[in-house]
Chains A and B, each alone.
Chain A
Amino acid sequence: MKNALKIFGFTFVVVAFYSYVGHWVPQKETYPPKTLEIRADLTTDEMVEIGQQIVAGKGTCLGCHTIGSEGGALRFPDLAGVGARAKSREEGHTDIDYLSEALYEPNAFIVPGFQPGMPTINKPPIGLTDQEILTVIAYLESLGGTPTVTMDTKLKWQGQTPAAPTPAAAPGAKMDGPTIVQTYLCVTCHNFADASHTVGPSLYDVGDRLTKAQLYEAVMDPDATIAKGFPAGVMPATLGASGFYDKISTQNLKTLVEYLASLKGH
């Protein structure tokens, strides 16, 4: 009996140690992507904005593609400037033709130097709807080019996936902090889950380090004070490209600053 108890105690200590190791690594819960509600009368600018959210979220594009990464392409081509390249990538294809083919039939044309492997975007597990794909095309066109796609654009693959419901959630409407940082892609460069850095400094505990006034300045004039070890010019360019400075409402800016100030690293 005594041996059995000793062995049980030993077992308990070993599994407790492994549990501790499990708690030591970064903790993150992953949720299923939310389906965005897309109106049929979106303007091109609104399409770009929603497309940007899909690229970073439900589309899971940034798992393999980069957008203007200093380190070059990841697994698949870097998307910076793809809006300009798309016009001449395949002979006889407009940029919309090329981009829609790349999404609906990703292995029909492989960019030289890369391997096939991209999943078909309108099929599960990603399963974007035709409307969502139009917004993604708008966003991709905006990367180095001018979006010409509209919600009325017809693509030959359309109809193979169910249409999305269309009640409205207009961009620029009142949003909460986490939605704003998702919408304007802050999450692609800043880590909110822990203190490790990605392209930009972690914002995990930014509320402990900066006052609200400093946060306001960091958002509206990012290069006024640069965090040591990080390049200047990246954030103004990225936020500018996302249309943040044109579209952010006073209310949402206030919400964003309040939200950042609440991040205390817990």
Chain B
Amino acid sequence: MRKRASFLLKPLFFLTFGLLFLFTWDWAHAATHVGNVLVNVPQEATDGYGSFPIAGVSPRVIMWIVAELHLMFAAFVLAVPMFALIIEFIGYRSGDERYDRLAYEFTKLLSVSFSFTASLGALLTFALIILYPKLTTYLVSIFSWTFFPYVLLFFLEAVFLYSYYYGWGKVSPRTHLVLGLLLNLTGTAIMFIADAWLSFMNTPAGIDDAGHLVNLWDAVNNFTWMPINIHRLIANIAFGGSIAGAYGAYKFLGAKTDEERAHYDWMGYMGNFIAIIALLPLPFAGYYLGKEIYAFSQSLGITLMGGTFSWLFIVQAVLIGNLFLAANYYLWLGMERIPGADRYRKFIKYLLASITLCFLVWATPHSLVASVAEARKMGGAHHPMLGVLGVMSAKNTAVNILILTTYISFLLYRRGNKESVVPWAKTGNLIQFLIFAVAISIVIFLGIYGYFVEASVRIGLSVPQVLSVLFTMISVTVIDVFMFKGAKIKGPIQWGKMPNRAQYALFFIAITFAWTMGLMGYVRAGMRQHWHVYGVLEDTSPDAFTPAFGFAANVISLTVLIFFSFIAIVFWITGLSSKRAWKPKPGPPTDGDDAAPVPEPVSSVKPALEEAGS
């Protein structure tokens, strides 16, 4: 029966890919249709636009997919060195070799990913030159001088990345840490330069009324440059952590021994930990970005939040809610492998209730899609009760409580096998409880108060809400660290004793992160509407319209599937290094049995070296 199932899997796999190809083809064709009327896509490059060599395929969809794939790989390649370096540093300071091994395992993913990122970057550049020459020419006229440091830094990044990877165990730990630091600095600088180009497209600055460059630094340091830098830096870590966690999950599922399972369970946990820790401050960075967009242009802000894209943020709420739900679920499953953590199991139902409630509030739209009869019963487009939850006051409150709930899950997980031995433990717990109680009260009070004040005051209320949550997380963590210093351990964490469904939670988190990234890419470009550079360079191509959200969702899904197909290749290639050396199958005995022995293949030397190196 198992054999038959296995026999069916391959045809199913190819059938799925075949269907995917057909859907892609159909979507790409659909992009050239406006309503039911076929638009004549120019076959020759005219008016600053080129056509895709395959007739009928929209240049915009091609650009969209290539740009998003490049961004996803770039995010991963920039993020992994950050947490690899931190983990390596922890291992260096603590002397625990497990951390060093883990950091190396993360770094192994970089080598192939870096090549993918560079190839996709080249593809993106060629696509821009061929399909959007008008835009490319304009951006070159503004940013040409930034291209030189970009290329130089890219070259340096390659040097530092490969010396960091190949130098593992070959140079002194301090030198190696410095290499890692330099790798991170160059990677971050590259991102900052690229962010200048894309943020300029949304919030141009440093140019005169005719669009000519006046001041390069002003063009770089436009309204959304620094918010985008900060948002991306944090989001990259979250995204990279989730992909690294997915790698741990993938290896866990294929592990043959308990030792392997324990290692990859730990790797999956660490990846997820990094992802969620970075996710917590992300809404605040997003808020800063949104604020700067409004500061640049209220029209742009309104298009983003209150106009064409208002429904997009409901979908984003679904995605972020799913992320929190899956992350908490993974933590709760993880508590089963911690001796003594069953003390806290009784709290899970309350945490789940809190998360579900916050998720529902966050995903409640302001106006509802309803039939005429339903709308009449409701007395309008807003539901008499649920409509109240669709406004910003309720959503800000929900997201803050959601973050606090997830933080409580972490706290319980962290405490799982520990018992505090300090004499002030009871007082410490009480203080922590009071901090939580006060913070939650502030968040809820300000949320309700927001209904009774003007919009300008209401917007300002989110700041004390956020600050009280941040204060809670920092102060409670500090108390916890001291309270559990030298704590009595009920038993070691039994790494590897994790159900397979926990690994699928990690995949789910990685996929959801990737989809969210695709969604945000769509809104970042889409909010410019029919402008390449907002208010400066108009999009006059047949694709100047903003597509319906369903179409965008299909393109995002397709991009995510392609990305994970590429990531599967990265995982496979990375995994080859730990495989045993290939040996020819012994043939039938011949007269040559007494011939000279076949020499050991060179490839078998590499794993041995790696073992020594790690």
Interface residues of A (CB under 8 A from B): 1-5, 7-12, 14-16, 18-19, 21-23, 25-32, 60, 63-64, 75, 115, 117-119, 123-127, 194-198, 201-202, 205, 209, 227-229
Contact among B538, B544, B550 for A23, CB-based, below 8 A: B550
**B381 CB within 8 Å of chain A:** yes
Given contact pairs A3-B250, A29-B545, A124 touches B299 in the complex (Cβ within 8 A): no
Given contact pairs A7-B507, A229-B379, A229-B380, A75 touches B250 in the complex (Cβ within 8 A): no
Q: How far is the CA of A197 from the CA of B250 in the complex (A)?
A: 48
Tell me what chain A mostly uses at the interface: helix, strand, loop, or mixed. loop
Q: How far is the CB of B255 from chain A (nearest CB, A)?
A: 10
**B254 CB within 8 Å of chain A:** yes
Given contact pairs A11-B507, A28-B548, A205 touches B307 in the complex (Cβ within 8 A): no
B535 touches A202 (CB 8 A): no
Q: A14: nearest residue on chain B (CB-CB)?
A: B511
**B364 CB within 8 Å of chain A:** no
Given contact pairs A3-B253, A4-B568, A7-B507, A22 touches B554 in the complex (Cβ within 8 A): yes
A198 touches B381 (CB 8 A): yes
Given contact pairs A21-B315, A119-B298, A125 touches B535 in the complex (Cβ within 8 A): yes
Q: B530: nearest residue on chain A (CB-CB)?
A: A32
Contact among B13, B311, B548 for A8, CB-based, below 8 A: B13
20 A-B residue contacts at CB 8 Å? A4-B568, A7-B568, A11-B511, A11-B560, A11-B561, A19-B553, A19-B554, A21-B553, A25-B314, A25-B369, A25-B549, A32-B530, A64-B298, A115-B456, A117-B298, A194-B369, A195-B372, A196-B369, A209-B372, A229-B379
Which A residues are in CB contact (< 8 Å) with B329?
none
A27 touches B548 (CB 8 A): yes
Q: How far is the CA of A197 from the CA of B152 in the complex (A)?
A: 56
Given contact pairs A3-B254, A30-B529, A22 touches B550 in the complex (Cβ within 8 A): yes
A227 touches B367 (CB 8 A): no
Q: Which of the four size classes fits the interface of chain B?
A: 35 or more
Which B residues are in CB contact (< 8 Å) with A119?
297-299
Which B residues are in CB contact (< 8 Å) with A12?
16, 561
B548 touches A31 (CB 8 A): no
Interface residues of B (CB under 8 A from A): 6, 9-10, 12-13, 16, 34-35, 209, 250, 253-254, 297-299, 302-303, 306-308, 311-312, 314-315, 318-319, 367-372, 374-376, 379-381, 455-456, 504, 507-508, 511-512, 515, 529-531, 534-536, 538-539, 544-550, 552-554, 556-557, 560-561, 564, 568
A-B contact count (CB 8 A): 168
Q: How far is the CA of A133 from the CA of B568 in the complex (A)?
A: 57
Q: How far is the CA of A31 from the CA of B306 in the complex (A)?
A: 17
B561 touches A15 (CB 8 A): yes
Which A residues are in CB contact (< 8 Å) with B306?
63
B372 touches A201 (CB 8 A): yes
Which A residues are in CB contact (< 8 Å) with B560?
11, 15
Q: How far is the CA of A69 from the CA of B529 in the complex (A)?
A: 27
Q: How far is the CA of A228 from the CA of B368 in the complex (A)?
A: 18
Q: How far is the CB of A48 from chain B (nearest CB, A)?
A: 24
Q: How far is the CA of A196 from the CA of B381 in the complex (A)?
A: 5
Given contact pairs A27-B549, A30-B308, A229-B376, A125 touches B531 in the complex (Cβ within 8 A): yes
Q: A25: nearest residue on chain B (CB-CB)?
A: B311
Q: B536: nearest residue on chain A (CB-CB)?
A: A124
Q: B295: nearest residue on chain A (CB-CB)?
A: A117
Q: How far is the CA of A119 from the CA of B302 in the complex (A)?
A: 12
Q: How far is the CB of B192 from chain A (nearest CB, A)?
A: 26
B298 touches A18 (CB 8 A): no
Which B residues are in CB contact (< 8 Å) with A15?
511, 515, 557, 560-561
